Chains A and B, each alone.
Chain A
Amino acid sequence: DIQMTQSPSTLSASVGDRVRITCRASQSISRWLAWYQQKPGKAPRLLIYKASTLESGVPSRFSGSGSGTEFTLTISSLQPDDVATYYCQQYNSYPYTFGQGTKLEIK
């Protein structure tokens, strides 16, 4: 199975900050990576697929980059509504696997 490792596990930042979350795959997954946002008590929401394609309706302050084994989710200017846990997911091969999550908080 492909292991996905996110860092950091918890991130505290101020409104307006630029925030970066990293996701590393245990082997190359090309660009077959998605990012999700999950708020407490809610289902995950797709933000980005194919490593950098923004899902329709997602604010443009979210962006994704990377390929191979290293990927980044960037929020260009943190907003209070962005408080959530973020997960990466590989779909290069079965079984689909997720990172352990990054909990984003406002300072």
Chain B
Amino acid sequence: QVHLVQSGAEVKKPGSLVRVSCTASGDTFNSYVISWVRQAPGQGLEWMGGIIPISGITKYAQRFQDRVTITADKSTRTAYMNLNSLTSEDTAVYYCARQLPNALTWFDPWGQGTLVTVSS
């Protein structure tokens, strides 16, 4: 059974970059998809993009295309989400979640979430 553990909370200045990590344990990592979903305070869920670690192939939501980079390190079973040019509107909890290898599937399981606060 796979378990996803994310890095801790971050406080960032506007215009800066944040990096959030997601480490998998307990199951095959490389051939699945790891996606990132964010949730602004009191708001709903928004998919940002995903990666297939074994190939490095990525897919991004168009609205984040210019600002997000998702990478993966197979040796450490860790996926990373970089988001740059931060504004206050990027304040949110960021989740990683696994998807089955054929990509267009549901999200399960989810990491515990990482709160990113953007404030001057």
Real binding pair: yes
A95 neighbours in B (Cβ, 8 Å) = 47, 61-62
Q: How far is the CA of A46 from the CA of B45 in the complex (A)?
A: 13
Judge whether B44 and A87 touch: CB under 8 Å.
Answer: yes
- B interface majority secondary structure: loop
State whether A43 and B45 are in contact (beta carbons under 8 Å apart), knowing that A91-B104, A93-B104, A94-B59 are contacts in the complex. no
Which of A36, A43, A44, A49 is the one whose CB lies under 8 Å from B105? A49
Judge whether A55 and B108 touch: CB under 8 Å.
Answer: yes
Which of B45, B95, B111 is the one whose CB lies under 8 Å from A89? B45
Judge whether A89 and B44 touch: CB under 8 Å.
Answer: no
The A/B interface has a contact count, at CB < 8 Å, of 50
Q: How far is the CA of A36 from the CA of B108 in the complex (A)?
A: 10
A98 neighbours in B (Cβ, 8 Å) = 44-47
Judge whether B47 and A96 touch: CB under 8 Å.
Answer: yes
Q: How far is the CA of A56 from the CA of B66 in the complex (A)?
A: 38
CB distance from B25 to the nearest CB of A (A): 16
Q: How far is the CA of A34 from the CA of B45 in the complex (A)?
A: 13
| Smallest Cβ-Cβ distance to A100: which chain B residue | B44
CB distance from B5 to the nearest CB of A (A): 12
**Residues of A12-54 whose CB lies within 8 A of B:** 32, 34, 36, 43-46, 49
Any chain B CB within 8 A of the CB of A97? yes
**Residues of B92-120 whose CB lies within 8 A of A:** 95, 104-113
State whether A87 and B111 are in contact (beta carbons under 8 Å apart), knowing that A32-B104, A95-B62 are contacts in the complex. no
A43 neighbours in B (Cβ, 8 Å) = 95, 110-113
Binding site for A on B (CB under 8 A): 35, 44-47, 59, 61-62, 95, 104-113
Q: A49-B105, A95-B61, A101-B44 are in contact. List 8 more A-B contacts (CB 8 A).
A: A34-B106, A43-B95, A43-B110, A44-B95, A46-B108, A49-B108, A89-B45, A92-B104
